[in-house]
Amino acid sequence: MDRFINNRAPRRLVLILVLLLCVSAAAAYFISGKCAERIVSEQIQAGLSVAGGGKLTQSPDEEHISQGEELLSEYGIDRSLPPQLMYSYKGIRRRIFVPVFGLMAAVSLIWFIAAVIELMAIYRDLEKIRNECIAAADSPEKRITLYSHDLSSVRRVAESADLLVSRLDHTLFTLSSGQKYLRGFLTDLSHQIKTSLAVVRLNTDMLAELPNISEEQRTKLSDEIQLNLDAMENMVIEAIKMAKLDADAVEYDMQDNSPAEICSLALKRLAPMLRKKNISVRTDLDENVRLMCDKGWLCEAVENIIKNSADHSECTEISAEVSDDPIKVTIALSDNGKGIPQSEIPKLFERFASGNSDRSMYSSGLGMSISQEIVRGNGGEILIYSEEGKGSRFEFIFLKN
């Protein structure tokens, strides 16, 4: 009740009621005046007709009224006499004013009572919605009950509140999932870095504590230190890239590019590594194929797939193909390595996962995930075909508009 009294809406209703009563009084006063003038005017004409010889029980006619005016002219009485001067005018006006004002005031009061009842019902529903919103804040599974009629404002408020609760619940679930993913990601990342740091620390201690170490052993330990430092640097860089991709903080520069040129650039960058591993390259790149994509990012996605094959497949040959048809553009990267078991394929795009359960301290474990995010960001998808002992094929599929 306190909220009802202290709210602006009830005060406005009372103000409207007062204004309606004032308008009703003014209207009743005006109507009663007009009616009284008409009635008294008829009375004057009837009196003049009787004075001119007419009968009181008949309607006054012009002849008798004129005769009455001639008879009473010496007293200044005629049909133009103002009704307000007659003694009966005020009484007649009062008798008309009271019922007219009473009727209009009664209608205003009925409207006021109905409006107050409806307003109180709305406040009760709003109070229930408020209490349920408070309960939903403490219990994410709580839902808001839909009150009032289907098209009422309260119903729409309840629907909006329920939608807000649902979205907050979804946001909470998303944040919880993100927190869980971040916890696992940081755990894996720290484990990978700790592994490389352990090798660096061990080799550094050996270099410092072994006085008679040969130059060959010293060079080997230094190379291992440098290799692990490079791995940690690469890991941090790729982790930052992965974080940007996950946060949708990458703005792709979508332009008309040649997938064949992108594959050639990726192979050129990786040529020293492929030569070192004695891996030959075979290409079938259609120069006429065009694709709307971000050249730099898609080139990195191609590089990551090729590096993954070179590091984990034990292959001797890697091939790159670019083709198109009326439906799609395809970039295919294949190797003749040991292949991937079917049970391991779904795990390839997991963070820090290597094919065949082979974990290498020199692999960040993020390349495949980064490639998938980049390809999807450019409107494509990665398909994998592999058979153990025969190699693997990774296809970047981009549907044409």
pTM over 0.75: no
CATH topology of domain 255-399: Heat Shock Protein 90 (3.30.565)
Please answer whether residues 259 and 322 qualify as being in contact, where contact means their C-beta atoms are separated by less than 8 angstroms: yes
3-state class (DSSP) for residue 111: helix
4 pLDDT higher than 60: no
Distance CA 355, CA 357 (A): 5
Residue at token pair 């990978």: 192
| Residues near 335 by beta carbon (within 8 Å), at least 6 away in sequence | 309, 310, 313, 315, 317, 318, 319, 391, 392
**Domain locations along the chain:** 2-138, 155-246, 255-399
Number of Cβ atoms within 10 Å of the Cβ of 318: 25
Report pLDDT for 231. 67
Other beta carbons within 10 angstroms of residue 356's beta carbon come to: 14
As a whole number, mean pLDDT of residues 275-289 equals 92
- Whether 156 and 125 have beta carbons less than 8 Å apart is answered as no
User: 312-340, pLDDT tens digit by residue?
Assistant: 888 999 999 999 999 999 999 999 999 98
| pLDDT tens profile 73-121 | 777 778 888 888 888 889 999 999 999 999 999 999 999 999 888 888 8
Tokens of residue 199, six digits: 């090798």
User: Once rounded to an integer, what is the mean pLDDT over residues 361-374?
Assistant: 71
Model confidence over 215-228: pLDDT tens digits?
777 787 787 777 77
Question: Beta strand 380-387 with 391-399: parallel, antiparallel or unpaired?
Answer: antiparallel
Distance CA 303, CA 385 (A): 18
For the chain, percent of residues with pLDDT exceeding 70: 86
State the DSSP H helix or E strand holding residue 105, giving kind and residue range, or none if neither.
helix 88-138
How far are the Cα atoms of 268, 296, 302, 355, 379 from residue 306, in angstroms, in the given order? 12, 16, 6, 13, 21
Handedness of CA 157, 158, 160, 161 (dihedral sign): positive
> Exposed, middle or buried: residue 57 (CB in 10 Å: 0-12, 13-18, 19+)?
exposed
- Contact between 196 and 361 under an 8 Å Cβ cutoff? The reply is yes
**CA–CA dist 285, 322 (Å, integer):** 5
- Of the candidates 343, 342, 349, 340, the residue with the CA atom closest to the CA atom of residue 381: 349
State what percent of residues in the chain have pLDDT above 90. 34
Given a cut of 90, whether residue 252 has pLDDT beyond it is: no
pLDDT tops 70 at residue 127: yes
Q: 155-246 has which CATH code? A: 1.10.287.130
Question: Contacts by 344-353 with C-beta closer than 8 Å and gap 24+?
Answer: 345/384, 345/386, 348/384, 349/382, 351/184, 351/185, 351/188, 351/242, 352/188, 352/189, 352/192
In this structure, what token pair is assigned to residue 397?
């599929």
pLDDT at 28 over 60: yes
**DSSP secondary-structure letter at 346?**
G
